[in-house]
Structure 1
């Protein structure tokens, strides 16, 4: 069966999502910033109307890059651009940003208390996809977050088609995943999230064009996955389309809003 045929057989939910890449302030202990993000900053975001899901991905402090070394692909995460965490925001509709403008202003004002740099990546409606790759109720004990940078000369449509029709089924076909979520991004625009007193520097050669969340039974399964010959082969096939693949170890994945409901306590 071709990978495109396999992709058509995967059960998928399509969403309208964005990701905010976050770097905590460096003038205080990293853990202080990560704790403030978890609370009280999460309470401001969670109260935003029109939100279907709000999840924080806390990334491990030591993150040199999990993706295997691949010719012509940057797989080592540059220390100066290493992300501390990502806020995943999934909206109920394209009108949701209008509903949440007041609460978003509060988030703008609070960012300087915890972050030194923030970058928002957004996609079109239905460009965020959550795949059903595991039995219902199967626990996710470990995750990785992968960012892809499109290779120069590869068109956006070609890149998105490769991610959705070739890369996703190849990943799902490994049979070890318990979570698989992807986002493909529109071109990055600073004005979409131009918060005050926080840096938004993002050189053209540092832009990302897609993200993938991979869930596993446990950390051992995650480590085995990235060391497997299947991923090495997959990475060689990815090289003509991507110039960088940054795979982060996720230390915590915390859900604060689920199915449009603010949870009394975050879920891991």
Structure 2
């Protein structure tokens, strides 16, 4: 695995939010995942003002892929283990106003599939997509990482580390085919307070950034997380992060791309 310094990465900055989702437990998990993939996706895809809408389906067995690190929570608590993420990228800061009617339908439909939903939003340009793949390279495996800032750590220093050192070090491994980061504003329940669905999010459970990683295949993903580069990053993150939760992704389904609703999702 290459760990040589990376040249300056091309980056596209976006206005994105992530909705963390937990499916209902009074029915088989796959029933909920299928409903989200099917009927619920149609409601969300029809929302005006979206640049991209992607569903990130997480593996049911996800104890935590980040290497064990002293003073950092890397084992994902079973009662807070996420089932999926709705990754929504808007065309502008005014897009939420255009989509209010459709969003109201999404609010009503959540009870059919989810038991808890939490929206994490960022300021415009706080979502960044980096050019790490060569032309023609495809993603065969993914992981998503959620980071919790340590109490007392500077929010500005944390964001700078994610957007500079973390990105540069991960890209320098030479194995990534996709790299996306988001840094979040402070969580606010009022941003996504849907009826009949839980939104409990204690302060000590909240996240402050996410990273989506794409690899050629599962073997490349496994090698990445067991690499010296990741162990070094973990040590550098310890003063800033109290939790690093790394999830295996089973599917990343795109329903809206470049502002257009696709006739069928892309996997």
TM-score w.r.t. structure 2 length?
0.97
Match of 2:137 in 1: 138
CA distance in 1 between partners of 2:13 and 2:138 (Å): 22
Match of 2:68 in 1: 69
Asked if 1:174 is matched to 2:173, the reply is: yes
Question: CA-to-partner distance for each residue in 1:91-113, whole Å, 9 max, x for gaps?
Answer: 00000000000000000000000
CA distance in 2 between partners of 1:120 and 1:75 (Å): 22
* Structure 2 contact 45–261 (Cα < 8 Å) conserved: yes
C-alpha displacement of 1:137: 2.0
CA distance in 2 between partners of 1:165 and 1:233 (Å): 15
Structure 1 residues 76-225: aligned runs within 5 Å: 76-225=75-224
Question: CA-to-partner distance for each residue in 1:211-261, whole Å, 9 max, x for gaps?
Answer: 000000001110111011111111111111100000000000000000000
The runs of at least 4 aligned residues of structure 1 exceeding 6 Å deviation read none
Match of 1:13 in 2: 12
Asked if 1:258 is matched to 2:257, the reply is: yes
CA distance in 2 between partners of 1:249 and 1:174 (Å): 19
CA distance in 2 between partners of 1:182 and 1:151 (Å): 18
Which sections of structure 1, spanning at least 5 residues, go unmatched?
none
* 10-19 vs 160-169, greater mean Cα deviation: 160-169
CA distance in 1 between partners of 2:94 and 2:10 (Å): 26
Counterpart secondary structure, 1:42: helix
C-alpha displacement of 1:158: 1.1
C-alpha displacement of 1:161: 0.6
CA distance in 2 between partners of 1:165 and 1:107 (Å): 36
Match of 1:35 in 2: 34
Match of 1:242 in 2: 241
Aligned residues: 264
Q: CA RMSD in A?
A: 1.2
Counterpart secondary structure, 2:112: coil
Match of 1:53 in 2: 52
